[in-house]
């Protein structure tokens, strides 16, 4: 008796990704990582000013901006991980970069050294 022959599902026509997922690449992720890290640091400064000088406007403005950048960071990271061959551990460290001050800067530097070059 011979080895069992594996039969996969038939491949359909190539389908473009949804519009929301287009353009998710390393270059865009690096930009978002830097923006997210910067907004996080500014939000920490605004939080300090809110509690020490009773100035809440910075938190009211930067809070939603940082929130959107944080969500974009996580969504893009999870969508590009397979293309870049990240392991679960690498993905976890990349995501950890979003919740640590200066984390996005370290992620950007790591991606600069460890990601394949992209054509513009």
Q: Each residue of 52-91: pLDDT tens digit?
A: 998 888 899 999 999 999 999 999 999 999 989 999 999 9
Coil, helix or strand at residue 102: coil
Does 44 fall in a domain?
yes
Does 19 fall in a domain?
no
> Which pLDDT belongs to residue 19?
45
Does 107 fall in a domain?
yes
Does 6 fall in a domain?
no
Structurally, how many domains does the chain consist of? 1
The answer to whether 99 and 74 are in contact (CB under 8 A) is no
> Which pLDDT belongs to residue 17?
54
> Which pLDDT belongs to residue 119?
44
Domain with 83, as residue range(s), is: 24-113
> Which pLDDT belongs to residue 49?
93
Percent of the chain with pLDDT over 70: 78
Does 8 fall in a domain?
no
Q: What pLDDT digit, counting tens, does each position of 8-30 carry?
A: 555 555 555 554 455 578 999 99
Rounded Cα distance between 74 and 91, Å, is 10
Q: What pLDDT digit, counting tens, does each position of 26-45 carry?
A: 999 999 999 999 999 999 99
Predicted TM-score of the model (pTM): 0.76
**In the structure, how many helices (H) and strands (E) does the chain have?**
4, 0
Does 57 fall in a domain?
yes
> Which pLDDT belongs to residue 120?
44
Does 4 fall in a domain?
no
Does 119 fall in a domain?
no
> Which pLDDT belongs to residue 55?
84
């Amino acid at each position: 008796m011979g080895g069992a022959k594996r039969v996969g599902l038939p491949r359909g026509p190539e389908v473009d990704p949804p519009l929301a997922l287009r353009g998710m690449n390393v270059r865009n992720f690096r930009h978002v990582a830097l923006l997210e890290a910067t907004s996080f640091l500014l939000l920490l400064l605004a939080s300090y000013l809110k509690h020490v000088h009773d100035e809440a406007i910075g938190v009211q403005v930067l809070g939603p901006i940082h929130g959107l950048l944080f969500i974009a960071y996580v969504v893009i990271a999870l969508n590009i991980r397979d293309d870049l061959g990240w392991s679960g551990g690498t993905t976890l460290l990349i995501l950890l970069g979003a919740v640590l001050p200066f984390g996005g800067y370290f992620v950007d530097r790591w991606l600069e050294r460890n990601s394949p070059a992209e054509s513009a």
